[in-house]
Amino acid sequence: MEPITDAEALEFLREAMVAHLGVVHDGEPYVTPMSFVVDDDRLLFRTKPGMRFEAIQTNPSVSVEVSRFDETTGEWMSVVVKGTAVERTDEATTSKTVELLRAKYSSVLGSPLGRDGLQPMASFPHVIEVKIGEITGMSSGRGFSYRTRPGRL
């Protein structure tokens, strides 16, 4: 395994289509997939009422993970962000979140974001901002042969 730079981790995060959000709900870990965007030093996503939103309101410390695994080569990369989640209700942030999500996901067929245009708040009325407090990334390693690459499954 080999660490990647913060710049590489941030670029990987920007390109990822799905992240996993880790929260604590009623004292138990709870992880869910999500669509998201990166805007400067923050992640933005929408959520609906439920366990994820309740957990954020109760304990705003969160982790966000994105990863990629190449089944052909065994190469992988993973990035973890730790930060504080805050609901944003101001028009500037909510509008920007919808605009950025539309730009990132509009070409994805079958996505709720792609059906009949993006409903501005639809059933996901809560916009959440996670300031990137800490970002770390690891990869399977560079410069190793296929047979000796660390982390190969």
23-79 pLDDT per residue, tens: 999 999 999 999 999 999 999 999 999 999 999 999 999 999 999 998 888 899 999
Q: CA 135, 19, 58, 130 torsion: positive or negative?
A: positive
Q: Which residues contact 77 (CB under 8 A, 6 or more apart)?
A: 4, 12, 67, 68, 137, 138, 139, 140
Mean pLDDT (whole number) for 119-126 = 66
pLDDT at residue number 73: 84
| Residue 74 confidence (pLDDT) | 85
In a domain, 14, yes or no: yes
**Residue 145: inside a domain:** no
119 versus 122: which is more confidently predicted?
Answer: 122
> What's the mean per-residue pLDDT of the chain?
87
E strand or H helix at 137: strand 126-139
CATH (domain of 59): 2.30.110.10
Residue 148 lies in a domain: no
pLDDT higher than 50, residue 118 = no
Tell me if 150 is assigned to some domain: no
Give 86-94's long-range contacts (Cβ < 8 A, gap of 24+).
86/60, 86/128, 86/129, 86/130, 86/131, 87/56, 87/57, 87/126, 87/127, 87/128, 87/129, 88/44, 88/127, 88/128, 88/129, 89/127, 93/44, 93/127, 93/129, 94/121, 94/127
Counting the structural domains of the chain, the total is: 1
**147 located within any domain:** no
Residue 22 lies in a domain: yes
Band the pLDDT of 147: cuts 50, 70, 90.
Answer: low
Residue 58 within a domain:
yes
Residue 115 lies in a domain: yes
Domain housing 91: 2-139
